[in-house]
Structure 1
Amino acid sequence: MRYCDKKNNRIIIEGGSPTPEFWDEQSIIKELKKHIESARNERFVSNITAKFIKPDKTKKILEGGCGRGHFVYSLKYNGYDAYGVDFAKETIKKINLVMPDLKVNIGDVRHLDFPDNFFDGYWSLGVIEHFFEGYDEILSEMKRVIKKNGYLFLTFPHMSFLRKLKMKMGLYPPFNANVFDMNLFYHFALDPAKVKSDLEKLGFRMVYSRQLEGIKGLKDEISILNKPLQKIYNSQNFFVRALNYFGAKILAPFSAHAILQVFKRNQ
């Protein structure tokens, strides 16, 4: 279920409370080490990082909210001094057991256990939208631990053209905080202009932006298309995956589920 929060220009999306226990349950994979090591073939995080930070083992990159650690592994594999933190304790324990050389630890992105100006880069992949009380503490910690002239790589579900259109047409029921069951809260679809503005107030400057996952955004928002597009979205067939890749790009300006914003810390 989705609800319209017009006051804050965002959408509230149900799906299960994102507690540490919730994320621990998502990490139950029989071959965890194999899953993590498969990230050596991923290109999204590694390529975007390399656009702004040349691979160098002295360059420290953090993934805040690293989940199963596969992007931390990818960054390490591609030549960075990679770190990861997550508050899902059992997941981190499993990673430490099967990949003891991976710098992944239990931590809270709102209160990071790192010195000031420690990281050259910080990846936050779909994290800030899960905090109902807001992301201000997370952004403040990002500024604290990122070096001056360092980079923040941020992704989150956003208010796409399609979602804005549906909101304008009144297709989402209005959000009522007095009756909403917080146990059902999963994440927000955030206003990217507000996120950008909030980071600019902290001394960041946006240097790159890209809308992501056009097919996912379409299937999630138009129910009649959900089942056929879900098959395309999940398929491992080479040709269907190619269709998914190009279709997601073509549809992104209209229905992108998420957005990538890259910021440089100026102050």
Structure 2
Amino acid sequence: MDKINCQICSTKLEQTNITHNEYRLYSCENCDFHAWYPRKIDVSFYENDDLGFQQNLHEDIQRLPLWTEFFFKNLNKIGATGKKILDVGCGNGSFLKEMKDKGYDCYGLDLDRYAVKVAKKKIAEDKIFHCKLEDLEKIDSKFLGYFDIITFFEVIEHQDDLDNFINHLKKYLKPHGVLVGSTPNTNRWINGLGFREVSDYPPHHFNWFSLKSLNKLFEKHQFSVSFYPAYTKVTGADLRYRVLSAIFKEKYARATKPIIVSQESSFYVKSKKSIRRKIRQVLDLAFLILSPIATLLNKNKEISFHIGFIAKYEK
């Protein structure tokens, strides 16, 4: 492959020995950004992924995402001047429903038409759109410079062109508006133990961010940014999925597809076989015991599972 420059700082990316199927990971020594190539992003993937995340949205199983926790804790401090909010990658509308109940004027968009149908029922038919971010202005030019807050939780790691993505967010943002989002932390402590869950690889995620790389990205686009652990409490179920999906890859994730993001549910396929049941019970207990330690580690934004960020446009 020809020379590839970092999308954040323009430094030449270094090719690593890490591959996943047809993809190879490249890293930036200057800003700690990691990117997968080729960046073959298929929009239809967001309706048909094989790990079950989208199925939970279609069936409206997904509750309010954990990584929105930091946003609600800091809602009164973010400094937005109004209550018009756009959620990019709104899924089934659980987050927007919470904001609507708080008196916000809510809009959302998503690439998954089935999730959009669910979100429309929660918010409004004319405020949820099945479209790309860059196409929102084609739906109505009023959206240019329209929003006080734009959120994009667990979205930026999917983007193939970071500058294009941020520039379009800026187009829809009011002067001195606020961007809020979250993304997996490539330096999360559990990765240091060798457990990186299968959903963090392409075609799910094409970008791996650290605090350093995110800070460089927002500075480049004239935002002042504050970082937070996106959420702190780690359940036994969350810990169990991260560890076992890292070990067993797609096989584990597919076997648990219908309930993969339900924090209250067991991630194991039900079985009447006593040996499997006993193993399940032992593992459940082990992860439950370890979860308070994981929660303590997760409070450190440098190594937390997910990074939350609030960025204010300073231009």
TM-score by length of 1: 0.68
Counterpart in the other structure of 2:163: 136
- Of the candidates 179, 183, 187, which is equivalent to residue 160 of structure 1? 187
Q: Is the 8 Å Cα contact of residues 213 and 249 (structure 1) preserved in structure 2?
A: no
Counterpart in the other structure of 1:117: 145
Counterpart in the other structure of 1:5: 26
Name whichever of 121-130 and 3-12 sits farther off.
3-12
Are 1:151 and 2:170 an aligned pair? no
- TM-superposition CA deviations, 1:207-253 (whole Å, max 9, x none): x21124575689747957x99xx9xx96539xx99985774343343
Counting aligned pairs with the same residue, the percent is 18
Counterpart in the other structure of 2:313: 265
Are 1:66 and 2:113 an aligned pair? no
Are 1:92 and 2:116 an aligned pair? yes
Q: Which runs of 5+ in 1 are unaligned?
A: 173-182
Q: Which runs of 5+ in 2 are unaligned?
A: 1-18, 266-286
Are 1:193 and 2:212 an aligned pair? yes
Matches within 5 A, 1:185-264: 185-187=203-205, 188-206=207-225, 208-212=226-230, 220=242, 235-236=263-264, 244=291, 247-253=294-300, 255-264=303-312
Q: In the aligned structure 1, how far is the partner of 2:90 from the partner of 2:262?
A: 22
After TM superposition, give the deviation of residue 106 of structure 1 in Å. 1.5
- TM-superposition CA deviations, 1:138-159 (whole Å, max 9, x none): 1001112111221111211123
Name whichever of 120-129 and 215-224 sits farther off.
215-224
Q: Is the 8 Å Cα contact of residues 117 and 145 (structure 1) preserved in structure 2?
A: yes
After TM superposition, give the deviation of residue 105 of structure 1 in Å. 1.0
Q: In the aligned structure 1, how far is the partner of 2:215 from the partner of 2:105?
A: 27
Q: Is the 8 Å Cα contact of residues 213 and 248 (structure 1) preserved in structure 2?
A: no
Coordinate RMSD, CA, aligned: 4.5
Counterpart in the other structure of 1:82: 106
State which structure, 1 or 2, has the greater radius of gyration over its C-alpha atoms: 2
Change (3 A) 1:155 1:185: same
Secondary structure (helix, strand or coil) at the match of 2:47 reads helix
Secondary structure (helix, strand or coil) at the match of 1:185 reads coil
Q: In the aligned structure 2, how far is the partner of 1:21 from the partner of 1:202?
A: 30
Change (3 A) 1:249 1:48: farther
- TM-superposition CA deviations, 1:17-41 (whole Å, max 9, x none): 86443332444459956x58x65x9
After TM superposition, give the deviation of residue 110 of structure 1 in Å. 3.8
Q: In the aligned structure 1, how far is the partner of 2:71 from the partner of 2:193?
A: 31
Q: Is the 8 Å Cα contact of residues 88 and 150 (structure 2) preserved in structure 1?
A: yes
TM-score by length of 2: 0.59
Q: Is the 8 Å Cα contact of residues 93 and 118 (structure 2) preserved in structure 1?
A: no
Q: In the aligned structure 2, how far is the partner of 1:100 from the partner of 1:220?
A: 32
Change (3 A) 1:44 1:100: same
After TM superposition, give the deviation of residue 109 of structure 1 in Å. 2.2
Q: Is the 8 Å Cα contact of residues 65 and 109 (structure 1) preserved in structure 2?
A: no
Greater helix share, 1 or 2? 1
Q: Is the 8 Å Cα contact of residues 93 and 122 (structure 2) preserved in structure 1?
A: no
Change (3 A) 1:62 1:244: farther
Q: In the aligned structure 1, how far is the partner of 2:145 from the partner of 2:312?
A: 13
